[in-house]
Structure 1
Amino acid sequence: MPPPQEGKRAALACGGDVIGALPDDLLQHVLSFLPAQQAVRTCVLARRWRGLWKSVAGLRITGGQESEVTFVQELREFVNHLLLLRCRAQIDTCELRFAVVSDDDVPRVSLWIRHIILCQVRLLRLDISRDGYGVYFYVDNLPLASQHLTRLELIDTGLNDSFLDFAGCPALEDLVIINGCFVHVRTISSTSLKRLAIADSSFNQHARTRIYAPSLVSLRLEDNWDRTPVLESMPSLKAAFVRFIKESVDRCFYSDSWDCHNEDCQGCYDLQAVNSHDSVLLKGLSEAENLTLIDEHDTVCMF
């Protein structure tokens, strides 16, 4: 059998299948960048391609074109068969991006997520929305447990307390929560987390979320709504970026200087911190070597 390089030269000379001359691991790497539907369709190209998609390390399950991301019957059946036929083949990167229309599909999608976790996924991206204004897809209220997950990206998703307790994810280092996530939880907790970004998302208006991440080296809190979270001690913090916008309720509604002495002011008197001795941000930010604080509108409370 000729060496691979000679085989490719021969294929070129004869006008043959140059891509088919590539080794299986390289072909599977290429397939990992395709949406799962397209990757599976390659099974009809030739006998050699029939099973390549089953071991692809990158799994991208989307609900159609970017302008019409919809969870439809066809996608439901496709994913059920896809995960079944892959068995427990290892997954390096997985992206789930679609909209759930029916309440009946919510537990099904949660089961898919749990199956993917069992496949030792290292990077998991969830961009799962609900069909309808103000309706969120909520992942099930069970903690994640994975020895392999290193990066988790959550987009436009409703989040529960247990799901953001990462005691069972000792390798998790990156957490990204962006683009309209509903973060109405008591605690985000991880002892292994090194980089955290929460942007353009909603915290609870009536109770503060505590963030416990003692190993954090990078923090980004940007353009979030409602109550600013309470930061626990972050002794390893190198860089932090915090920007407040008008939608934050941690601001005085009646005065440009703290405080307005108006007991009806939600920002000054409703809930300044979890208790009178807690700081909101400064306890966590005090160790940062590089700190950026931006207030685009009014004076905010950091104590």
Structure 2
Amino acid sequence: MKNCTVTTFILLGLTDDPELQVLIFIFLFLTYMLSVTGNLTIITLTFVDPHLKTPMYFFLQNFSFLEVSFTTACIPRYLYNIATGDKAITYNACVIQVFFTDLFAVTEFFLLATMSYDRYVAICKPLHYVTIMNSKICRRHIFCCWLAGLLVIISPLSLGLNLKFCDLNVIDHFLCDASPLLKIACSDTWFMEQTVLTCAVLTFILTFMCVVLSYTYIIKTILGFPSAQQRIKAFSTCSSHMIVVSITYGACMFIYMNPTAKEEVTVNKVVSLLISSISPMLNPFIYTLRNKQVKKAFNNSIKRIATFLRK
């Protein structure tokens, strides 16, 4: 995003109403603290509990890290803007925010696809699961997710660094994002808009196809189990991931495929806010409330801490 005369941008946020701003601040602060605390708890549990040293929880650990990183890249800056009334953000800080929010978001899609493949192997090829999803392979999967995320955003970002901004520096959003930045650029943005759209669509289609194919085979295999108890147990191992996938892809579809949401700036901002605050907060609750192993690990950790404090 090459700068002509603009050295800072002004983030309009969601509203200028002081009372609404107070409510938004409280809401975002609480959801952010819950998101960070919940996801860090999952990360800690997967490190310390020996029963959670499996590929599924290794991927969950990395997913929780991405959730913390994504919400941290979006929310604290907006909280600062509301608390201080300072809506200005420097050009460099804006570029950094665009880079990290996009990187974490895209990487998360690839990781969700990888997690669905992990569930496919666990249910459809249980005898070969340990061999196929060994620790070395899992680490390679994580590396590939980050690499894919970086490769997807590098082209739009390179083009964005050449954008010129003249006198208009007001961003109609609560964070720096590609869409509102393109609206205020004074250079030709057609090619970059097509590049951003292409990268977004390819990421969505590729990862969504992987998820759909994995769960098609998973459901087909589960329905073939002779025992109803086996089917329920198999579905329960996938239920948490399926809920998270539904929320993530559903929100993405709403933003990019709903014409009203695409045209209405306010709706777009609100949905973006929910994605960056509510979704990361829900992740720990979904995995802890619906997963006996995580709940057991959490209870054991609480007991160990209580025992240590009594001593």
Q: Same fold (TM over 0.5)?
A: no
Interval containing the TM-score (normalised by the shorter chain)? under 0.3
**TM-score, normalising length from structure 1?**
0.23
Q: Which has the higher contact order (CA 8 A, sep 6+)?
A: 2
Q: Write 1 or 2 for the structure with the bigger share of helix.
A: 2
Q: Write 1 or 2 for the structure with the bigger share of strand.
A: 1
When Rg is computed on C-alpha atoms for both structures, the one with the higher figure is 1
